[in-house]
């Protein structure tokens, strides 16, 4: 159920009996010469809308701009500072809790958002407002990703390329897949991003001239469909599980009581 398409009486009927909502989040940032800047938020929104339709769960509008300063050297990349992002998402979640939602899944498709969404989830849980967790689509199906692509890549690689070929094929510049591979880093192991145990880079341009990693020529719409269906199924299962949990079991546990005989 997409929140923005409903009337307020319809939503009142929903929150009277349900308490689960999904918030899709992504980014608006460079994804190489072949993919749109919308890549991450398109993936998040499509997966969230598909899974919530199947599970009959409330889905909010998508947060399209995330924490992306590490792509700032590339034209068009947009970002918000991390504290502003955390505060915004937390405020949005508290808005949902005002309407009766006490469990939230952040459907995330941008790695730069991950740690901040987990921090927001901790804040909300610690004060008893809601149980909110971050879900990243490719983390839900790692074996399939590894099976489909010989040389993947964490950004603008074949997995994201295949997903956009499936959900928004008109936005993929298929004629530039060779350029994406040859102008970036096909194999992350060749980038020397870890030296003596230290991560040595801050921005994507430090490693790749065109901003992407992996072999994009290995992507197809058919592979994207397999990824999409598998990830959507994993999300539906997560929503079903979360919906069944007693609220008390999800909230922070109380302080440990002293053991008998221990000093107070």
CATH of the domain at 154: 3.40.50.10310
The predicted model scores a pTM of 0.94
* Domain presence at residue 261: no
Domain that holds residue 90: 3-248
* Domain presence at residue 203: yes
- Token match 């947009």: residue? 78
* Domain presence at residue 97: yes
Residue 128, both tokens: 């008893």
Q: Is 250 exposed, middle or buried (0-12, 13-18, 19+ CB in 10 A)?
A: middle
If one counts the domains in the chain, the total is 1
* Domain presence at residue 20: yes
Name, in order, each residue with C-beta under 8 angstroms of 221's C-beta and a sequence gap of 6 or more: 162, 165, 166, 169
pLDDT tens for the chain, 264 residues: list them.
999 999 999 898 888 888 999 999 999 999 999 999 999 999 999 999 999 999 999 999 999 999 999 999 999 999 999 999 999 999 999 999 999 999 999 999 999 999 999 999 999 999 999 999 999 999 999 999 999 999 888 899 999 999 999 999 999 999 999 999 999 988 877 777 888 889 888 999 998 999 999 999 999 999 999 999 999 999 999 999 999 998 889 998 888 877 766 555
What is d(CA 108, CA 47) in angstroms, rounded to the nearest whole number?
A: 10
Residue 8, both tokens: 């307020």
CB-CB neighbours of 231 under 10 Å: 27
* Domain presence at residue 259: no
* Domain presence at residue 243: yes
What is d(CA 61, CA 193) in angstroms, rounded to the nearest whole number?
A: 36
* Domain presence at residue 254: no
* Domain presence at residue 262: no
Closest by CA position to 101, among listed 239, 254, 252, 253: 239
């Amino acid at each position: 159920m997409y929140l923005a398409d409903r009337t307020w009486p319809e939503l009142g009927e929903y929150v009277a009996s349900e308490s689960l909502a999904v918030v899709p989040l992504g980014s608006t940032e460079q994804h190489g010469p072949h993919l749109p800047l919308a890549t991450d938020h398109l993936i998040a929104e499509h997966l969230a809308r598909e899974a919530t339709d199947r599970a009959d769960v409330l889905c909010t509008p998508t947060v399209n701009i995330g924490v992306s300063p590490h792509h700032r050297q590339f034209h068009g990349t947009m970002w918000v500072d991390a504290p502003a992002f955390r505060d915004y998402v937390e405020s949005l979640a508290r808005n949902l809790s005002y309407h009766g939602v006490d469990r939230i899944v952040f459907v995330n498709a941008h790695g730069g958002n991950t740690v901040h969404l987990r921090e927001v989830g901790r804040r909300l849980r610690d004060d008893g407002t809601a149980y909110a967790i971050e879900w990243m689509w490719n983390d839900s199906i790692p074996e399939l990703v590894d099976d489909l692509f010989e040389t993947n890549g964490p950004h603008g690689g074949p997995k994201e390329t295949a997903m956009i070929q499936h959900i928004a094929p008109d936005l993929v510049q298929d004629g530039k897949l060779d350029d994406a591979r040859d102008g970036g880093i096909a194999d992350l192991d060749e980038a020397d991003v870890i030296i003596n145990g230290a991560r040595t880079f801050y921005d994507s341009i430090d490693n790749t001239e065109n901003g992407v990693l992996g072999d994009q020529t290995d992507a197809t719409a058919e592979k994207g469909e397999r990824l999409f269906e598998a990830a959507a199924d994993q999300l539906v299962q997560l929503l079903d599980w979360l919906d069944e949990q007693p609220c008390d079991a999800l909230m922070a546990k109380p302080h440990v009581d002293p053991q008998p005989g221990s000093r107070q």
